[in-house]
A and B are shown apart, each in its own frame.
Chain A
Amino acid sequence: MRYLPLTPPERAAMLATIGAGSIDDLFADVPTAARLDGLLDLPRAMGEIEVERRLAAMAAKNLPAGSGPFFLGAGAYRHHVPAAVDHLIQRGEFLTSYTPYQPEVSQGTLQYLFEFQTQVALLTGMEVANASMYDGATACAEAVMMAHRVTRRNKAVLSGGLHPHYRSVCETYARFAGAGLAAQEPAPRGGEDLATLIDAETSCVVVQNPDFYGEIRDYAALAEACHERGALLVVIVTEILSLGAIVPPGEMGADIVAAEGQSLGNALNFGGPHLGLFATRDRFVRQMPGRVAGQTVDADGRRGWVLTLSTREQHIRREKATSNICTNSGLCALAFTIHLALLGEEGLTRLARLNHAAAVAAAERLERLPGVRLLNDSFFNEFGLSLPSPAAPVVERLAERGILAGVPVSRFYPERAELAPLLLVAATELTTAEDIERLANGLREVLP
């Protein structure tokens, strides 16, 4: 076996050093009834050629996003990742290192985490960020839990514009933590008056910007309403690239920003691994979940970095920790950091403009189709369309033609007939004019 260095004579020699008669002696503590004598009913070892052949055969049964016109979003976005990103994250010193517990031999990881935290804080307009969470949805749930700790209140109001997976993760976490949620009905056209729902028990209001249906809103007034009543405003961002174009949540008065960072540096990966971003205000930092890198000095007085504020964390605080999170999304954070370093101010804002331009072109083309209505007053790179017939079968029929048309809202809410005609359409810098034309023509052909 190519990954196992020991040879049979070496194994025998090592057993002799140990003073064991056979390998079985080393498993003597395992109850006899639980010892497997033979091999399990699984295939035998395979060489690279065979493994590659089998997995490539599975991969070939999928239709990759890059194979034709592609318009899916809803929390996962297809962007171009510069070649340097994937090269750098595959350097073994990054890829095959552990969490930086020994800072003297982990300065590379610690410095990029510090840079990542700075980038996230700048982008969101917040004061401080952690070293990443699993994904946007779990970051959202952790934000709700943190708001409960900060305010010592027990009810979170969730906007109907929140991504349904994020809502579901919040509900799962809250159910077992004994936390209260007031989750609003899906709100494709907005119109929520969340400020009126804030009461003395409200820990936070959770809104998404742009919301699940793509609409962009100013939450400054809501932030004020929250703060007047002692609640926090949590802003969710599922398309982090939008912050290259629109006012960041920090400027609107957000107290916590939980976001999905996949768009920068990371592939779609069928939904994972992705990258949870978490940012907040300095004054809440000791209630923040997750790892955080901090600046310090070494014994010679030189600047360096360490993991810090660990007295919040499970390995020190155990059952009193702010979260049970341990391993997070380090390498995805590195990809994000490298991509954003390459883009810089100019590249990021231009990339954001390109995305918005592509979406505007798509919206203007598609809303001219008979019976098709654009849902949004505003949007960044994703918008909702109301089709004259249920969206899911339309998407299926277009997929047969090699067009991945968007995400039918019924995928999330199959029981709600009123949402069946809704289709979410995203366009990015990878979307061409020809892609838009093919989608428009395809829709015209399959719509009634």
Chain B
Amino acid sequence: MTGWSQAIAAPPEPAVEEPQTLSGNRGLVIEEPLLFEQGVPGRCGVDLPEPPAFRSRLGGLERRAPIGLPGLSEPQVVRHFTRLSQKNYAIDAGIYPLGSCTMKHNPRLNEKLARLPGFADIHPLQPLSTVAGALELINTLAHWLKTLTGMPAVALSPAAGAHGELCGIMTVHAALDARGERRRRILVPESAHGTNPATAAACGYAVEAIPANKRGRVNVAALKAKLGADVAALMLTNPNTCGLFEDEILDIAEAVHAAGAYFYCDGANFNALVGRVRPGDLGIDCMHINLHKTFSTPHGGGGPGSGPVALAASLAPFAPLPWVVHGPDDLQLVEHAEGAAAQALGRLKGFHGQMGMFVRALAYMMSHGADGLRQVAEDAVLNANYLRARLADALSLPFPGACMHEVLFDDRFLRDTGVTTLDFAKALIDEGFHPMTMYFPLVVHGALLIEPTETESKESLDRFADVVIGLARRARAGGAAAFRAAPRFTPRRRLDETGAARKPVLRWRPGAES
């Protein structure tokens, strides 16, 4: 999910004079040059034998020029990446309340199981007789996802949430093609993730924004006015990115279906519903699920993810290849558009999907069980509402009433303080917290979107809330300069994003200044 600012970094404050170290290091924060600045020719971090003499069969296309890779030993490489790791914030280290990102604890059992040779060391094109357990795992995961969503089919190959969106909208397109209908528009609420309109456009649709109402939900009257014979789908996030449940959803679904369109749900916020509400019962035809959010496969600093798509019966025949189906005796892998899969979309990625993520997600589901998953949704919603209650007086709530798994504030509490949402977020970093999502959704001014998730303890929430309240007080007490100078205690202070984009330096080059 998006969570970063379009705002330009504030100009640097005159730096407060600080004692400088000789090395540039500051205690545990150690300056680390690029790999390319520390290699020595002839050094190597692996020991490989020299091959026996053989006749080259490269067709005369042997590489002639050196590649330019640095030579490092194993201890150097281990040290390099260990030092880099120490410059990252992580859920392992503290609360990571990025709204719409669902940064929850990543159980290490799941890492262990994904590395079993029977899962990690199998090739996607082995004879099916040698991968029966892999198909069983995929089928079991599909069963859990179908049961949790209340939908009859699930496409597992999409590699991330946005890829799942692509899958879903392509499926809608294919279903409309099969009906002989060419519809040209997709409706997307203005609070939607940027991936939604980008996906619709990638599938050749015109995007029309639906405004929000005063309650932070879709303006149903405006939606109905835009619905018509030319609308292919509505893409709705529920709970939406204001952290609110679309309480008119049944009415919305009915209107969408009456117009002959499909109802796509962005399932990024499924964590609020899992085990308590089935999207299939809300009239949804199609929903992607981020296994790397709700089902805790690690985000890994930006992937890999996995974005299975739950499908209604009307869309299931168009699910992309491959399919795992029940044969007469065993599970089978359908890799070609034939038989029941004759209308299937072609492939959306190579091979069969993010197996490594499937193992982790299934281990997570089995660990929680039906009872634990329901508790996940309840605790996620409880934690968000607890923060809402604790912060309501110190910050400013744009929408009254209970939230779901995340709570949205706007920047009215900073009015006339000279402190922006960005400054506030950077000050939180100095206090040892990862900031919330900033400036998103776009439907309120200076948004701060907080999603604590169910894996935060009450003590952790209280510590976070105490600091946020204290910072809000400090901002109102006239501390703007200190906010604009934040963060001070990080490996780097505010970075010049404008300069980076204006004159892009996207790789190291020999002789480049260090």
Contacts and interface: CB of A to CB of B under 8 A. Distances in A.
A308 B275 CA distance: 39
B398 to A, nearest CB: 16
B492 A40 contact: no
Interface string A216-250: 11100000000000000000000000011111100
Contact of A30 (B54, B245, B458): B245
Contacts of A58: 118, 133-134, 136-137, 140
Interface stretch (B221-229, B409-417, B449-457): B449-457
A306 to B, nearest CB: 5
A210 to B, nearest CB: 9
B interface residue count range (under 10 / 10 to 19 / 20 to 34 / 35 or more): 35 or more
Q: What is the size category of the interface that chain A forms with chain B?
A: 35 or more
B23 interface: no
Given A330-B301, A396-B129, A3 B105 contact: yes
Contacts, number: 743
Interface stretch (B257-265, B308-316, B361-369, B474-482): B361-369
A274 to B, nearest CB: 7
Contact of A245 (B9, B55, B58, B370): B58
Contacts of B50: 350, 353
A195 B59 CA distance: 21
B43 interface: yes
B369 A42 contact: yes
A138 B494 CA distance: 34
Contacts of A113: 302
Contact of B48 (A33, A100, A350): A350
B159 A135 contact: yes
B396 interface: no
A212 interface: no
Contacts of B89: 93, 97, 102, 105-106
Given A104-B487, A360-B54, A92 B163 contact: no
A404 to B, nearest CB: 6
Contacts of B357: 272-273
Contact of A107 (B43, B87, B194, B290): B87
A318 B197 contact: yes
Contacts of A297: 495-496, 499
A417 interface: no
Contacts of B440: 315
A200 interface: no
Contacts of A360: 54-57
B174 to A, nearest CB: 8
B198 A317 contact: yes
12 contacts: A28-B402, A56-B116, A58-B136, A62-B133, A89-B300, A98-B98, A115-B36, A128-B506, A135-B350, A321-B201, A326-B195, A344-B71
Given A96-B92, A175-B170, A327-B304, 19 more contacts: A19-B389, A27-B245, A36-B374, A42-B373, A59-B119, A65-B123, A96-B103, A108-B84, A118-B34, A165-B349, A245-B63, A271-B124, A272-B304, A292-B506, A314-B197, A347-B44, A353-B50, A356-B56, A360-B56
